[in-house]
Amino acid sequence: MTPRTPHLPSKTPNMGTTIFTVMSALAAEKGAVNLGQGFPDFACDPRLVDAVTDAMREGLNQYPPMTGVAPLREAVSAKIGKLYGRHYDPVTEITVTAGATQAILTTILAIVHPGDEVIVLEPCYDSYVPNIELAGGVVVRVPLTPGSFRPDFDKIQAAITPRTRAILINSPHNPSGMIWSREDMLRLQEILDPTEVLLISDEVYEHMVYAPNQHWSAASFEGLAARAFIVSSFGKTYHVTGWKVGTVAAPAALTAEFRKVHQFNVFTVNTPVQHGLARYMADPTPYLELPAFYQRKRDLFRAGLAQTKFKLLPGEGTYFQCVDISGLDVPEKHLSEAEFCQWLTTDIGVAAIPLSAFYGNGFDQKVIRFCFAKKDETLNLALERLAKL
């Protein structure tokens, strides 16, 4: 007998390693300041760590309910009601997930049948398309307007067919930092009203919106909320991306289908972390103060970039800043976005992400993305290096 590994036809033959993993590995290898992958390099509030530690010491370490611990679901429901004016039943309409990425995958697996079409707006977060393909769905790519990254509603409406199962939107938007306006949400509601199309609303950066802008949740619009799975992230809000805890809010009938998949996907989520988060949420100050916290970092970073030959794109929300690299007078001017980011990491010592990585066809518009969720000293070091350009 000769041991042999059977041939395994790939379900995802075109799927490679994410650009975030690639650029973070290169940054570590070259000793570069990593402004590529979107995670803070500073600590969370010690009170949050204490709350989780207390829960562990109290013995809250066994399986919680599949849907999430009741105090956390109740806290999330109360927060949504206060901020966005819609009540979600914490028993039947709020589910705690192992991060937003799992929440989106589970939603897609729950609602997309083989052959169903799902509209994504490019550039988009890189998990969306693989999630749809794993579910057997058909990806329908609709571009956001280059430069402004505003939704093109004529193109969105034209993309809807009898086979359209869902549309996936993201505001505040990763990678561009664009925010959907109230008028945008109302226009989407108008377009979807006569259809059976479901909405997946990725709102993980909901608390990173900068004056005079405002976050408009799908929960605030009756016609959208009735057909929406709204995805949020504790990791983004509380500077604990490694904890991988999020939520999905949806009408009871949609939540029931979501939970059918959730129970056999991750089943449930870290018990003491859930209790710690529930206790921490009793004080809304941390998320209410988050816009000012990140706006100061954004302004610091933008002021430094303004001294370089990068062209700043608007930064309405998220903790990302996009810049146009076409005006840089360097030998590497004619490199693609991806090649430029590799050069920037290797030769200048600052890692960034090419926007082309967020497009299925690798559309290159000479724009790259920096993350400013960093300590001031990290941002200042990066700006010192970027000043060489």
Q: What is the pLDDT of residue 331?
A: 62
Q: Which of residues 283, 311, 337 is at a domain's end?
A: 283
Domain contains 13: no
Residue 368 and residue 244 in one domain:
no
Q: What is the pLDDT of residue 286?
A: 97
Q: What is the pLDDT of residue 120?
A: 98
Q: What is the pLDDT of residue 20?
A: 82
Domain contains 5: no
pLDDT tens sequence across 307-335: 999 999 999 999 999 999 998 876 656 78
Q: What is the pLDDT of residue 19?
A: 82
- In the predicted model, residues of the chain with pLDDT beneath 50 are none
- What's the rounded Cα separation, in Å, for the pair 102 and 218? 20
Residue 309 and residue 234 in one domain:
no
Residue 209 and residue 303 in one domain:
no
* CATH number of the domain to which 298 belongs: 3.90.1150.10
Residue 84 and residue 214 in one domain:
yes
65-70 long-range contacts (CB < 8 A, ≥24 apart) are: 65/268, 66/259, 66/262, 66/263, 66/267, 66/268, 67/91, 67/94, 67/95, 67/96, 67/259, 67/268, 68/94, 68/95, 68/96, 68/247, 68/268, 68/269, 68/274, 69/96, 69/271, 69/274, 69/275, 69/278
Q: List the structure tokens of 302.
A: 């933008």
Q: What is the CA radius of gyration of the chain?
A: 21
Residue 299 and residue 176 in one domain:
no
Residue 233 and residue 214 in one domain:
yes
pTM of the model: 0.96
Cα 295 to the center of its chain, rounded Å: 18
Residue 236 and residue 301 in one domain:
no
Q: Which of residues 254, 283, 312 is at a domain's end?
A: 283
Burial (0-12, 13-18, 19+ Cβ within 10 Å), 267: exposed
Q: Give kind and range of the element (H or E) at residue 46.
A: helix 46-57
Residue 107 and residue 55 in one domain:
yes
Domain contains 14: no
Residue 209 and residue 147 in one domain:
yes
Q: 56 is in which domain, residue-wise?
A: 46-283
Domain contains 235: yes
Domain contains 268: yes
pLDDT tens sequence across 108-161: 999 999 999 999 999 999 999 999 999 999 999 999 999 899 999 999 999 999
Residue 183 and residue 297 in one domain:
no
Q: Which of residues 213, 248, 283 is at a domain's end?
A: 283
Residue 307 and residue 236 in one domain:
no
* CATH number of the domain to which 215 belongs: 3.40.640.10
Domain contains 8: no
- Domain count of the fold of the chain: 2
- What's the rounded Cα separation, in Å, for the pair 168 and 71? 29
Q: What is the pLDDT of residue 334?
A: 79
Residue 139 and residue 174 in one domain:
yes
Domain contains 204: yes
Domain contains 195: yes
